[in-house]
Amino acid sequence: MKERRQQAILDIIVRQDVETQEQLLTALKGRGFHCTQATISRDIKELQLVKELSPAGSYRYVVSDRKGKGEHDERLRNIFREGVISVAAAQNLVVVKTMPGLANAAAAALDRMNIENMVGTLAGDDTALLIMGTSQSAEAFCGEIKGMLR
């Protein structure tokens, strides 16, 4: 099911400009796939989709052309999994507590994940702060991080 859904996502973004996860969710439902926004978000990450400026001046999802960074990204994700102690959402902020000295590595991993609605990161010694566009996106992403840490 996942493989068919992800193939449908790739087909959709080739055939039409998709600006938001909501538009992608609607297009998938039109093809008989019923899933959640969190599932779409994971699929976008796994497929390495990024947003680019379209000729019409709006943003759309496309497959990333950045190849060869997978090994580096996987090392950053491992640092993230191994070094994060806790995560909590506070309005539109996500606070990530890490082992001493690892907050910058955690923030770098998050920066490279192309997270939907993330405005930016800020890191100290043992705390990274993610600034999200909305409280809802902060809560949703906090849940995703907790799932990744299990």
Give tens-digit pLDDT for 42-62: 899 888 888 888 788 888 899
pLDDT recorded at residue 68: 45
Alpha-carbon distances of 37 from 43, 78, 119, rounded to whole Å: 10, 25, 19
**pLDDT tens per residue across span 72-120:** 556 656 767 778 899 999 999 999 999 998 888 888 878 877 788 899 9
CATH number of 70-149: 3.30.1360.40
What residue ranges of the chain are covered by domains with CATH 1.10.10.10? 2-63
Q: Which residues contact 61 (CB under 8 A, 6 or more apart)?
A: 13, 18, 19, 24, 44, 49, 50, 51
Please give the share of the chain, as a percent, with pLDDT higher than 70: 89
Alpha-carbon distances of 111 from 10, 78, 118, 120, 150, rounded to whole Å: 23, 14, 9, 7, 21
pLDDT recorded at residue 58: 84
What residue ranges of the chain are covered by domains with CATH 3.30.1360.40? 70-149
Domain 2-63 = CATH 1.10.10.10: yes
